[in-house]
């Protein structure tokens, strides 16, 4: 029996509130032998108190040793198997610019490139145009019309943009048209199944019209397309858990991931304090709140250990305002580790705490990697976190008599 079927059978409604706070890329590594991680270095009295009051552990996002991207990392936290549900590159790119992709959409990442008189690519990134030029060229491409589908073209930055084709029965089993080489023309799109064959014709028509429109715009005089992806079929949080869910995130990508699983995506401003204000405002309207904080990841990616420590401490300071709302279940975790030492996402398990009246206490009184190793949750699959959230919220009945 699949976990979601089990939940559907056991779930119960009540008026409890669950808050899932995600410090992106939370887990870290010491810089030196015998040193401390970012979280071990940070002064986090509020998180430490939550750890003491609640139960702690380390979550494994996908599998031991597997480093997740933001998509799989968050799907796992929301209780979806990230190896079953895959979010293609095109869809993620669209989510990242806050384009509201939906079930009829085929999305793809586009690159402006330069071609010579023979149609061969001479620069795959069109000399990295300015963002302004990217916007201007996308405006031109918005004039493309193709029968039976709506076409959306949106700038990302420099040579990058997103194309979304909206229509019935589109397929995404289509090769990239980017040949990943210069001196050759863009590849012709070909589909691997009947729907994708039809869609490939649409793609080729798009590229053909783009070439005509851009013919006098060298170096941005042609486009290549990479990572065709249909909007994934995925149940909503409401369907799986019966939870009215809200996302309180600042970055478009995480808003997009939340929308993908049917959360209400709120306008949460730009700062942690804006997010807290939003949380307070909508407290009575939802059961579940996904609260996302990006800067623990971005400072980690930058390899900036002290800045990551600072971001953790900044996050710690808002915890009392969340506790003042008296959530029935508060979870603090990350979607993966991003050690400053590695300047990248990593596979290392992620410190996690659950605070609720029904927690079985452990002896952990600090929130960090080494303390959580002794925690009551042990090391567990991040996919099981929502089961624990639902249980501690009294929202899961007994299985079997």
By CB under 8 A, name the binding residues for a copy of itself. Answer: 1, 3, 6, 10, 27, 29-30, 33-34, 37, 53, 58, 62-72, 82-84, 86-87, 89, 92, 342, 344-349, 358, 360-363, 369-370, 373-380, 384, 386-392, 396-401
Nearer to a copy of itself, 33 or 267 (CB): 33
Structure tokens at 88: 């293609």
- Greatest CA separation for the chain: 75
User: Shortest gap between Cβ of 385 and a copy of itself (angstroms)?
Assistant: 8
- Please state the closest distance from residue 353 (CB atom) to a copy of itself, in A: 15
Closest approach, Cβ 78 to a copy of itself, in A, equals 14
Q: Which is nearer to a copy of itself, 250 or 391 (CB)?
A: 391
Burial readout 214-234 (b: 16 or more C-beta within 10 A, e: otherwise) = beebebbbbbbbbbbbbbbeb
Closest alpha carbon to 221 in 121, 143, 153: 121
CA distance 292 to 295: 10
CA dist 224 and 206 (Å) reads 10
Q: Which is nearer to a copy of itself, 166 or 226 (CB)?
A: 226
Nearer to a copy of itself, 37 or 46 (CB): 37
Query: Which residue from 55, 31, 62, 107 is spatially nearest to 306, judged by alpha carbons?
Result: 31
Name which of 3 and 304 has its Cβ closer to a copy of itself.
3
Q: Which is nearer to a copy of itself, 69 or 269 (CB)?
A: 69
Which of residues 57 and 155 has its CB atom nearest to a copy of itself in the complex?
57
Characterize the bridge pairing of strands 18-23 and 329-333: parallel
Q: How far is the CB of 72 from a copy of itself (least distance, A)?
A: 4
Rounded Cα distance between 156 and 143, Å, is: 18
Contacts of 291 (CB under 8 A, 6+ apart): 19, 20, 21, 22, 248, 249, 275, 279, 322
Cβ 355 to a copy of itself shortest distance, Å: 11
For residues 220 and 338, which CB has a smaller minimum distance to a copy of itself in the complex? 338
Half-sphere exposure of 400 (CA within 13 A, CB side): 0
CB closer to a copy of itself, 153 vs 359: 359
Question: How far is CA 273 from its chain centroid?
Answer: 22
Residue 10's Cβ-side half-sphere holds a number of Cα atoms within 13 Å equal to 18
Beta bridge partners of 162: 109, 154
Contact 246, 289 (CB under 8 A): yes
- Residue 397 CB, shortest distance to a copy of itself, in Å, is 7
Q: How far is the CB of 37 from a copy of itself (least distance, A)?
A: 7
Q: How far is the CB of 354 from a copy of itself (least distance, A)?
A: 10
Q: Closest Cα to residue 254, out of 292, 297, 286, 282?
A: 292
**Left if phi > 0, otherwise alpha if psi is -120 to 50, otherwise beta: which for 216?**
alpha
Find the shortest distance in angstroms from Cβ 29 to a copy of itself. Answer: 6
Nearer to a copy of itself, 72 or 300 (CB): 72
Q: What is the dihedral of CA 69, 75, 77, 81, to 10 degrees?
A: -110
Minimum CB distance to a copy of itself, residue 120 (Å): 29
């Amino acid at each position: 029996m699949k976990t979601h079927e089990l939940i559907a059978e056991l779930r119960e409604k009540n008026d409890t509130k669950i808050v899932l706070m995600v410090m992106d890329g939370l887990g870290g590594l010491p810089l030196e032998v015998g040193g401390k991680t970012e979280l071990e270095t940070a002064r986090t009295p509020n998180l430490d108190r939550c750890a003491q009051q609640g139960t702690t552990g380390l979550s494994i996002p996908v599998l031991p040793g597997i480093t997740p991207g933001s998509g799989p990392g968050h799907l796992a936290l929301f209780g979806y198997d990230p190896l079953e549900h895959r979010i293609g590159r095109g869809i993620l790119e669209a989510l990242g610019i806050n384009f509201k992709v939906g079930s009829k959409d085929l999305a793809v990442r586009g690159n402006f490139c330069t071609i010579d008189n023979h149609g061969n690519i001479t620069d795959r990134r069109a000399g990295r145009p300015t963002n302004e030029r990217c916007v201007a060229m996308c405006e031109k491409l918005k004039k493309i019309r193709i029968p039976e589908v709506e076409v959306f073209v949106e700038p990302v930055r420099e040579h990058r943009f997103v194309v979304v084709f909206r229509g019935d029965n589109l397929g995404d089993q289509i090769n990239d048209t980017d040949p990943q080489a210069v001196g050759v023309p863009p590849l012709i799109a070909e589909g691997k199944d009947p729907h994708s064959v039809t869609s490939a014709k649409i793609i080729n028509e798009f590229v053909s019209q783009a070439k005509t429109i851009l013919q006098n715009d060298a170096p941005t005089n042609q486009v290549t397309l990479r990572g065709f992806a249909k909007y994934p079929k995925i149940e909503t949080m409401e369907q799986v858990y019966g939870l009215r869910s809200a996302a309180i995130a600042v970055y478009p990508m995480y808003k997009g991931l939340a929308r993908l699983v049917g959360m209400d995506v709120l306008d949460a401003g730009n700062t942690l304090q804006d997010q807290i204000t939003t949380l307070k405002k909508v407290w009575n309207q939802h059961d579940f709140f996904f609260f996302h904080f990006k800067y623990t990841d971005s400072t980690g990616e930058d390899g900036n250990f002290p800045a990551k420590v600072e971001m953790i401490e900044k996050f710690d300071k808002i915890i009392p305002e969340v506790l003042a709302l008296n959530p029935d279940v508060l979870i603090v975790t990350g979607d993966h580790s991003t050690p400053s030492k590695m300047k990248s996402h990593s596979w290392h398990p992620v410190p996690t705490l659950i605070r609720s009246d029904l927690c079985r206490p452990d002896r952990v009184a600090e929130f960090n990697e080494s303390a959580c190793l002794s925690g009551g949750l042990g090391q567990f699959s991040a996919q099981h976190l929502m089961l624990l959230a639902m249980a501690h919220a009294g929202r899961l009945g007994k299985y079997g008599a």
